[in-house]
Amino acid sequence: MKQEIRYNVDADLEPIIQDWLDWLTDERKYSPHTLDGYARDLADFTTSFDKPLTLKQLEKMDVRAFRNYISAKAAHGLEKSSLARHISTLRNFFKFLNARKIIKNTAISVISSPRRNKVLPKALDVNQTFDVLEESKNFATNAWQGLRDAAIFTLLYGCGLRISEALNLNVGDIDSNDFVRIRGKGNKERIVPVLPQIKDAINAYINECPYHLKNGEPLFLGARGERLSPRIVQRQLQKIRAGLGLSNNLTPHALRHSFATHLLAEGTDLRSIQELLGHASLSTTQRYTDVNIETLKKEYSKLEHSVFDKLSQLQTRRV
């Protein structure tokens, strides 16, 4: 159960904060996770004041006051990514206040976000990836759960999905034209092709699942028939990682990174990878150009006849 978020503000400001959160939810379509982060950041900001914060104080805050707050957070060891989110939260909140003509204060816009350290994606090589896909079914409690895990990991890699995107899928979401419509971060929608090998893995799980899977209901189920939790998937991958002697970098997200990295090796252009991953900015996708793999020379359509050939061979051996 999440701890209640408390703000150190007066009676006039509290409903305005709630209006802001409602606006982020209803108008901006922010995810619950992002909303929770913004709410906690703003609560942290308000508790930096000795007395309940007022609108009048917010209106009078200058650049130095904002810089002092951010500097204090940095001095307590807050990471650059968290500092950047705190600044983003304050910008967003003051933008809301200005737009609604509640107060006028643009001082926060002068504060620049700290430059983040460049972090390269952690990708598996092709052989390691297929070792994971092949062995994933052997680490579950029973056969149907093993097939479920194999289907999920094949989907994460084969479609480049985030774990939340895969587990939010319902029965029937993958259409007859072999495409899946994904609703990702910021409620942004994208369409991703689903190769036959991925559908085979999903169908193998569906055929063995002891629960009756109906259209529109959760596709991937836990032991009690409820929508599967990301924590279960993460725990299963930890077992696989230990069993195969792989690095701690092997996470569900690493399979998504591997998808992008291997596509890049096959010659897929960055714009296409951006669309497949659902990145809002091409600069996010460009991180993959720093992963030293092979010279770009092939097209995405050839992936089925190269990387996934190995998966087909593995499936044939199991029959």
Domains belonging to the chain, first-starting first, are 13-110 (1.10.150.130), 126-318 (1.10.443.10)
Identify which of 88-97, 136-145, 268-277 has the greatest average pLDDT. 88-97
Q: Look up 318 and say whether it is catalytic.
A: no
Q: Look up 205 and say whether it is catalytic.
A: no
Catalytic residue among 253, 287, 298, 310: 253
Q: Which residues contact 223 (CB under 8 A, 6 or more apart)?
A: 141, 145
Q: Look up 288 and say whether it is catalytic.
A: yes
- Rounded mean pLDDT, 254-280: 74
Tens-digit pLDDT profile for residues 45-69 = 999 999 999 999 999 999 999 999 9
Q: Name the residue with higher pLDDT: 37 or 270.
A: 37
Q: Look up 185 and say whether it is catalytic.
A: yes
Tens-digit pLDDT profile for residues 251-261 = 888 888 888 87
Q: Look up 116 and say whether it is catalytic.
A: no
Tens-digit pLDDT profile for residues 126-160 = 888 888 898 888 888 899 999 999 999 999 888 88
pLDDT band, residue 295 (cuts 50/70/90): very low
240-272 b/e (C-beta count within 10 Å ≥ 16 → b): bbeeeebeeebbbbbbbbbbbbbbbbbebebee
| Residue 309 predicted with pLDDT over 90 | no
pLDDT band, residue 112 (cuts 50/70/90): confident
Enumerate helices (H) and strands (E) in the chain, giving the number of each: 14, 2
- Rounded mean pLDDT, 17-33: 90
**Nearest Cα residue to 23 out of 91, 93, 84:** 93
| Residue 102 predicted with pLDDT over 90 | yes
Catalytic residue among 40, 91, 95, 185: 185
Separation between Cα atoms, residue 173 and residue 277, nearest integer Å: 18
Q: Name the residue with higher pLDDT: 237 or 1.
A: 237
Catalytic residue among 137, 256, 257, 262: 256
Residue 192 backbone phi and psi in degrees, to 5: -125, 135
Helix or strand (DSSP H, E) at 181: strand 179-183
pTM as predicted:
0.56
**CB-based contact 226:260 (threshold 8 Å):** no
Q: Look up 253 and say whether it is catalytic.
A: yes
Catalytic residue among 162, 241, 257, 262: 162
